[in-house]
Structure formats: structure tokens, C-alpha cells
Structure 1
Amino acid sequence: MASNEPGAPAPRHLPGHIAAALAGAGGETDSAGQPWAGRSLAGDDAKIHNFEDDDGSANAGYRAAVAGLREGTGDEAAVVASLATARVFIPIVAQLAEEAESGHGLHADKQADMALVTLKAADGRTALPAFTSTDALAAWHPDARPVAVYAARAALSAVAEGAELVVLDPGADVTFVVRRPAVWALAQQKPWLPSYADEELAAEMGAAAAAFPAVRRIGLLPGRGVAARAADGTVLAGGGAGPELQVVLYLEDGLDAAGVQQLVAALQAEWSRNVLFGERVDSLEVKLRRATG
């Protein structure tokens, strides 16, 4: 019962579409107009999705992997590996396309478009945000509706949307960027190895470089973009947006600046034609060193 006493809290007004749904509760059909009659709500029929007992918290394996990254005992490969069986939440935003007035004088959603949220990364690429917990999603966008999916399914959605990155928990204490090769690996439910630790990739890139006499050898190292920074300033050895691969070229003496520039451009063109390179390298930086010995 409403109170008119001084100091009493003002009555709370529900959003129109929620009030309309409540007013229509208890009818013979659900909100989609499908009859309740004949439905079983017991046993397997009661399950509405794969996460019935989900409390909305972050996956324990993911939390442990991120803790290892923070403490310096883990790496980004372990974080991505933890996502193989993890549930995440994809934010969906409802955009009202048409509104109708119900028989109770309340406004209800007659037609709404559900929009998958995407972001633009600093380098202009499209990124799909995903959240490891409902709290992280609500803090980022209170009006977004969480859709629970396995991370592999989220990766598939990213590929379908033309997104090259999946950004986990944007705006949270730790934001982890899953780069394109890892997104593809998750989507295919395959293990992922960072390019800077990939011996097969190193061998192919080295074989291509061997065709250039001025290149004595190459080395693959983590790029400057591998690192990420937590909200408290802690630097993490993984989760950055890239470049994730640093290629060190050990060159013989005698090349001038123009010659070095032409050599690097030719090498990059050669690598870009390699299928393995295209699949496993997201972005790179080149560092030059003088060959000794």
C-alpha cells in the first residue's frame, strides 16, 4: 500500500515494457503468444540453456590463469587455454523498433531489434566485447542483456561479425585482448600457441629469410604489444592488443638506409604470402641488429 506520510519513499515506477509484461502475466500464452497448455516443465524440458546452475561469476580456470599472469607465474597462452571450456557473456542491446499500447494502458515492446555490440580498437579493427561475469558486464553497460555462451561460440560470433579481436572484460580490473589467431583457434576448438613461441613458424620465416644474403639469421621474440596493464598499474605479460611478434633481423654490414628499407619490405612481402604466417601472426614489429661472428 502506498504511503502519504511525510518522509515516505516515492513510489518506484517500472519501465513500461517490464510493467506490461507483469500486467500480462498469468495468461494462457507466453510473451511470444505460444500456449502454455501441453508444455512440460519437468526433467530435461525444464532446461532453458546449458548454464542452469550458473551464478554469473567468472570461470575459476580463467581466474586462476589471470592470477598467474598477474603474479608472473603464467602466460597468455594459459589464459587463452582456460577459455576453451569457459562460459562468457556476450552483451546484446535491445533497440526498440515499434511500441504498442496494451489493454491496460501500458506501453509494451511490439517489435525490438537485438543488436550485438562491437567496438573499434585503437588501430581501427573491429573487436567483440565479452565478459567473464555478469558483474563486469553490468558495470560496463547496465542496459546490455547478457547472453551466456561458451567462449568458443563467442569466437565464432566474432568471426561472423568480421571482428579480429575479442576483448574480455573491457573497463574491468584486468582487460584481456584475444588476438585474431587465438580467436580463430578458439572458434575451431584448437589449441593456440603464441607466434613468438611457435617453432614451426620460426622455421618457415627463417627459410624465407635465407633467400636474402644480407640476412644472417632471425629471431622471434614477444612484441611490445603483448603486455597489458591492470587498473592498479600492474604490467601483465599478456593480454595486450599487439603487435605481439617482434622479428629481430641480424644483418651483415654494408647496407645503407635505402637498402635496409628495401630488404625489410621484400621480407615482409615474402612472409605475407606464407599461409602459416597469415594464420598465426596477428601483427609484428621488426628490429635490426648487426650480425657478429
Structure 2
Amino acid sequence: MNEQAPATGPSEAADSAFPSTRTPRQLPGHIAAALAGAGGAADSAGQPWSGRSLAGEDAKIHNFEDDDGAADAGYLAAVAALLAGDGDEASVVASLATARVFVPIVAQLAEEAPGAAGLHADKQADMALVTLKAPDGRTAMPVFTSATSLEAWHPQARPVAVYAARAALSAVAEGAELLVLDPGSEVTFVVRRPAVWALARQQTWVPSYSDPELAHAVGSVASAFPAVRRVELHAGGGVASATAGGAVLPGGGAGPELQVVLHLADGLDAAGLQSVVAGLNAEWSRNAVFAERVDSIEVKLQRAPE
């Protein structure tokens, strides 16, 4: 089921931006293996379904039977710290590693049949995950930290409780590159593709703008271009988001999360500038570290002092 996402998509770069590429990315091996094993004879831990009992104490079929539907306390604390200026978006994503969220499931008509008085009636309906279309055309999957926020967004949706890591894996299976937490609520937080993959693999996510390994990879590529004197990485203009009340959050945005500042030699004309930017774009897109850890970027050009 596709719906139009709220206007939380990437903003345009102020100076110049690399053109967006929609070439399908290869899934990391951990994620591909988890998806390949879904629906098999054993669960995700390798334990066979055969011979299991659902009687007595064995009737507990998931971890959330006593769940009151409230948002995870760790997530709320991380968001509160972000609002207060004491936290960052990496801490919010880290809080999701052990958090329960709700994935909305809705009925989708699969087959109709003639009904009374010639009216059409539902003969068969399937339950489907809800996906959104972000303003930049990418697929996003909404998830909710509380049953209340899900009901307010879509009263007819069935809330399915899962750990956020499982929701991230489902997003990958659906071809979604973004997780949108609590759309329509006071705080809507977007988890971008690199963080979605990290959650799905149950690994720690490091934002691209503070990733030393990425900085090294970017600098190594740039060193092959004599006109580039220095490269700096900063948080991009799309990192910030806003609450429904207008307060600015230093995280949770869907736009370009990485700003690459290129300090270039003086004297380059327009064609020279274009050649450098295009060359860097091509080389970075072929770099495995860059491809996996960067979601979207904006480029700022500056003249290097002599």
C-alpha cells in the first residue's frame, strides 16, 4: 500500500549537489541472509518450528504480551535530550536497538465478488505493510513508537509489535530506504538508509559526518585530484528536522546529511570546476565505504588560500 509521505524529504543543496543516483545497491550479506531465511523451516535463530508446543507456558508466542502500548522509555529520553540540545541523532538511533515499535498493517482487497443488490463485496483481503513515497521518490516505511500515535495516524491500521531491528529488516525487504518514526506526531524522526541497514544488522550506526573511516576514504579519493587542496566533512542541511510546534531538532531530518566542503585551487574556470566535481562523484560512487555509509550529500566549493 503506497501513500504520499509528509513533506519531510531532502532539501536542495545551497551550492551544488551531486546528482542523485538510483542504481540499486547490493544488500549487505547479513541482511540478504536474514531475508533469504524468512519463511523457512526454522526461525531467525535457527531453531526449527517442528515439534513446538503452544500449550501452557509455551503459549507465550512473542515478547510483547504484557505491552501497554506506550513509547519506549529509552527512545523518549533520547528524543528529550535531542530537544534539549544535549543529545544527537546517533543516540536516538542507538536507543532503537532495543526498542519495541509498532508496524501498521492494513487490509488490502485481493478479490471481489457479487453481493446483494448487484453491489460488489470483498471476497478476499490480504494484510499488507504500509509504505510511503518520500518527496524525492524513495520508498519509506512508517513505524510508530506507541499504539496511540499509530491510531491517530491511521485508525484502521492494525498495530504489530516488533523490535525496531526487525522493522528495519522488513523495510529492507519492502525496498524502503527510510524509516519514518511517528509521522504526524509532535516529533517525527527519519532514520536514513545507512542507519536502517545498521539497525537491521544490529550494529552501531555512526553518522557519515562524524565517521573517521569515511573521512579517510573521501580524502583518499580527493587526493588524486590536484585541484583539491583540502576536504572537510560536516553535517548537511538535511540533518535537522522540526517538531509540529516549530522547534528545531538537530537530527531526524530526511535531507542531505553530509556536507562535503572542497577547498579548490584558485583559477579554475566553470568547466574545470565541473570536471573536478563530476570526477569526484564518479570515484566516490564506486567506493564501497562511501556507497554504504552515505545516504545523500551536498557539496560546497571554496577557494583555497595560496
The answer to whether structure 1 residue 115 and structure 2 residue 124 are counterparts is no
TM-score when normalising by structure 1: 0.81
Tell me what 2:4 maps to: none
- The aligned residue for residue 42 of structure 1 is 56
Instruction: Indicate the residue corresponding to 1:18 in structure 2.
Output: none
Among 172, 180, 192, the residue aligned to 2:193: 180
Displacement of 1:95 in angstroms is 2.5
Aligned to 1:137: 150
In 1, Cα distance between equivalents of 2:253 and 2:54: 48
Match of 2:106, SS state, is strand
Partner of 1:255: 268
What amino acid is aligned across from residue 233 of structure 1 in structure 2?
G
Deviations 1:248-280 (A, max 9, x none): 000110101121111111101110000000000
Q: CA deviation at 1:182?
A: 0.2
Match of 1:81 in 2: 94
Q: Tell me the equivalent position of 1:105.
A: none
Say whether 1:61 aligns with 2:83: no
1:31 matched to which residue of 2? none
Q: How far 1:96 sits from its partner (Å)?
A: 4.3
| Secondary structure of 2:71 counterpart | coil
Is structure 2 residue 149 aligned with structure 1 residue 126?
no
Structure 1: stretches of 5+ with no match in the other structure? 1-38, 101-107
Corresponding position: 1:222 with 2:235: yes
Structure 1: which 4+ aligned runs deviate by more than 6 Å?
Answer: none
Q: How many residues align?
A: 247
TM-aligned CA deviation for residue 115 of structure 1 = 1.1
Amino acid at match of 2:82: L
- Per the alignment, residue 70 of structure 1 pairs with 83
Task: Tell me how far apart the structure 1 counterparts of residues 279 and 61 of structure 2 sit (CA, whole Å).
Answer: 55
Separation in 1 of the partners of 2:236 and 2:181? 20
What is the percentage of aligned positions where both structures have the same residue?
A: 74
Q: For 2:219, which of 206, 210, 221 is the aligned residue?
A: 206
Deviation at 1:292, TM superposition (A): 1.8
- Structure 2 residue identity aligned to 1:111: Q
Q: Output one character per residue of 1:88-107: Cα deviation in whole Å (capped at 9) or x when no partner.
A: 0000001244689xxxxxxx
Segments of 5+ residues of structure 2 without an aligned counterpart are 1-52, 114-120
Matched, 1:241 2:254: yes
CA separation in 1, counterparts of 2:122 and 2:226? 69
Partner secondary structure for residue 224 of structure 1: coil
**Which of 1 and 2 has greater Rg?**
1
3-state SS in 2 of match to 1:225: coil
User: How far apart in 1 are the matches of 2:95 and 2:73?
Assistant: 9
Q: SS state of the match for residue 146, structure 1?
A: strand
Report which structure shows greater RCO (CA 8 Å, sep ≥6).
2
Q: 2:179 aligned with 1:166, yes or no?
A: yes
Deviations along 1:94-150, one digit per CA (max 9) or x if unpaired, are 1244689xxxxxxx9863201110000010000000000000000000000001000
How does the TM-score come out when normalised to structure 2? 0.78
CA RMSD across the alignment: 1.7
Separation in structure 2 between the aligned mates of residue 84 and residue 285 of structure 1, nearest angstrom: 29
For residues 185 and 288 of structure 1, what CA distance do their matches in structure 2 show?
31
State the AA in 2 paired with 1:142: P
Query: Secondary structure at the residue paired with 1:119?
Result: strand
Q: What's the CA shift for 1:44? A: 3.0
Who is 2:289 aligned against? 276
